[in-house]
A and B are shown apart, each in its own frame.
Chain A
């Protein structure tokens, strides 16, 4: 993307975004709620149009329904009451968009591979609603990767998971990158669990987007400039970053009502923060 700007319903979301996403890399998209992180994914998916600048996905303008793109949505499957089995759900990722009667004979094998890769085969025949949050998230990853996309977009894959489950999903994301060579874009609230596997960071705040390596973006100078007030970054003995000065950003309730991911992110942040100030 070069010089990209986007607005929704007449409201400018962000502008002057420029970045490139390389194959087999992991990009973390960070920023406060409502800053336009999901909008960025929708742009790449071709569901939202860019107002200014150019965005090329695989060298051409984004268009809907590309089989080279995989997308894991934020909440729907996590909150599901669906009785569908994981195997059928993953199968829908493969041939769900196809009208007509034809059956693809390779489906069974492709689904089996996706289940094996994500370690979900053991509970693939149970209904989705009976799975734990972490299991559902793995199943959603299997669904999004079943046709081996070259670019995989993950919206808050760590939301509403406990720390152990977060670590498992992070390992799985890394494994998917290593085995499929996909470029992976992860929208997240907290950089720390992802930091070991991230190659690039896109930080969106106050209608601006900054991109670069973790060290380039997550610095006191860049973030202070981005937010327009002083930000401090404290490095914990284990190498985790605690960002001080964003309490306000995180404490604002989400304007669109209930949002589990926000609460989870908030609690985690406060926990780390208090630990460091004792």
Chain B
């Protein structure tokens, strides 16, 4: 089959729609992940999702049910327990290890076909059904809608929580809201790139965007654009050259961050972003 014929097949087209939806949501939420310095929480929620999916498979349910329950649960737990920056790492770390332990237990109890676990870990982008696309698109649109509505208050709380609190915003409520958005986005992204590589779409494009611009809206737009670029090109390369699509997406997203840092390093010192 030629590349054109491959791209016309339904599984590639479904994959195309799914990565588009995921990249948009992950690029947008990723901006706040980077701004709030919560990459560790994003990492943890992905792994918590693994335990949830394994548990659901064990019970004979769809993995996405377990993903939603566990990711949202962990998101709320972290959001509640770590509203202040001081104890955030510890809360995230404990949640992470507790969930990973459960995941190990679930897998050991599950005697069936291990492919389900494998696809949760590494994604199953070329196995996305039309029904999956619908679900992914609906969740992504919801995330994007909420992000657009809470953009300003979320930015305010993330930059100066005390001042925002004095103006009537609750940092705790905003933290819960953020973790919920992160959890839903993670669930969606896991369908495509898997638990281990959720990071590639959530953190790398946003981190690259943050290096390139300090205007908030522009940074979020750039983050979404870079996520889309990584996702589309990654899908294309995976279909064309071969190799796992999630590898290509991760490679491209990481490279875009590297390029952003290089561009930044070549700028005059006064406008440079990265101090390190």
Is B one of A's binding partners?
Answer: yes
A19 interfacial by beta-carbon distance below 8 Å = no
Is A76 a contact partner of B161 (Cβ separation < 8 A)? yes
Identify which of residues 59-83 in chain A touch chain B, using a CB-to-CB cut-off of 8 Å. 64-67, 69, 71-74, 76-77, 80, 82-83
B162 and chain A: residue at smallest CB distance: A73
Given A97-B153, A99-B150 in contact, is the A85-B214 Cβ separation under 8 Å?
Answer: yes
What is the bound-complex CA distance between A72 and B273, given in angstroms?
26
B112 interfacial by beta-carbon distance below 8 Å = no
What is the bound-complex CA distance between A66 and B166, given in angstroms?
8
Is B214 a contact partner of A47 (Cβ separation < 8 A)? no
Which one of A88-96, A172-180, A242-250 contacts B? A88-96
A9 interfacial by beta-carbon distance below 8 Å = no
Is A92 a contact partner of B160 (Cβ separation < 8 A)? yes
Find A83's partner among B161, B163, B165, B273 (CB 8 Å cutoff): B273
Helix, strand, loop or mixed for chain A's interface?
loop
B8 interfacial by beta-carbon distance below 8 Å = no
B2 interfacial by beta-carbon distance below 8 Å = no
What is the bound-complex CA distance between A97 and B159, given in angstroms?
12
List the A side residues contacting B150 at CB < 8 Å: 99
What is the bound-complex CA distance between A95 and B177, given in angstroms?
19
Is A71 a contact partner of B163 (Cβ separation < 8 A)? yes
Find B210's partner among A83, A85, A129, A144 (CB 8 Å cutoff): A83
A127 interfacial by beta-carbon distance below 8 Å = yes
CB distance from B267 to the nearest CB of A (A): 13
Is A96 a contact partner of B167 (Cβ separation < 8 A)? yes
Is A96 a contact partner of B155 (Cβ separation < 8 A)? yes
What is the bound-complex CA distance between A25 and B152, given in angstroms?
33
What is the bound-complex CA distance between A128 and B258, given in angstroms?
24
Is B159 a contact partner of A65 (Cβ separation < 8 A)? no
Is B152 a contact partner of A99 (Cβ separation < 8 A)? yes
Find A96's partner among B148, B149, B156, B270 (CB 8 Å cutoff): B156
List the A side residues contacting B210 at CB < 8 Å: 83
CB distance from A96 to the nearest CB of B (A): 3
List the A side residues contacting B153 at CB < 8 Å: 96-99
CB distance from B47 to the nearest CB of A (A): 27
Given A96-B155, A99-B152 in contact, is the A143-B163 Cβ separation under 8 Å?
Answer: yes
Most B CB within 10 A of own CB, among A72, A92, A143, A144: A92
What is the bound-complex CA distance between A163 and B152, given in angstroms?
36
B213 and chain A: residue at smallest CB distance: A83
Is A98 a contact partner of B152 (Cβ separation < 8 A)? yes
B102 interfacial by beta-carbon distance below 8 Å = no
Find B214's partner among A66, A76, A83, A95 (CB 8 Å cutoff): A83
Is A64 a contact partner of B163 (Cβ separation < 8 A)? no
B216 interfacial by beta-carbon distance below 8 Å = yes
List the B side residues contacting A80 at CB < 8 Å: 159
A55 interfacial by beta-carbon distance below 8 Å = no
B163 and chain A: residue at smallest CB distance: A73
List the A side residues contacting B163 at CB < 8 Å: 71-73, 76-77, 93, 143-144
List the A side residues contacting B273 at CB < 8 Å: 83, 127
List the B side residues contacting A45 at CB < 8 Å: 166
B275 interfacial by beta-carbon distance below 8 Å = yes
What is the bound-complex CA distance between A130 and B274, given in angstroms?
11
What is the bound-complex CA distance between A106 and B80, given in angstroms?
36
Question: Footprint of B on A, CB under 8 Å?
Answer: 45, 47, 64-67, 69, 71-74, 76-77, 80, 82-85, 88-89, 92-93, 95-101, 127, 129-130, 143-144
Question: Footprint of A on B, CB under 8 Å?
Answer: 148-150, 152-153, 155-156, 159-169, 210, 214-216, 270, 273, 275
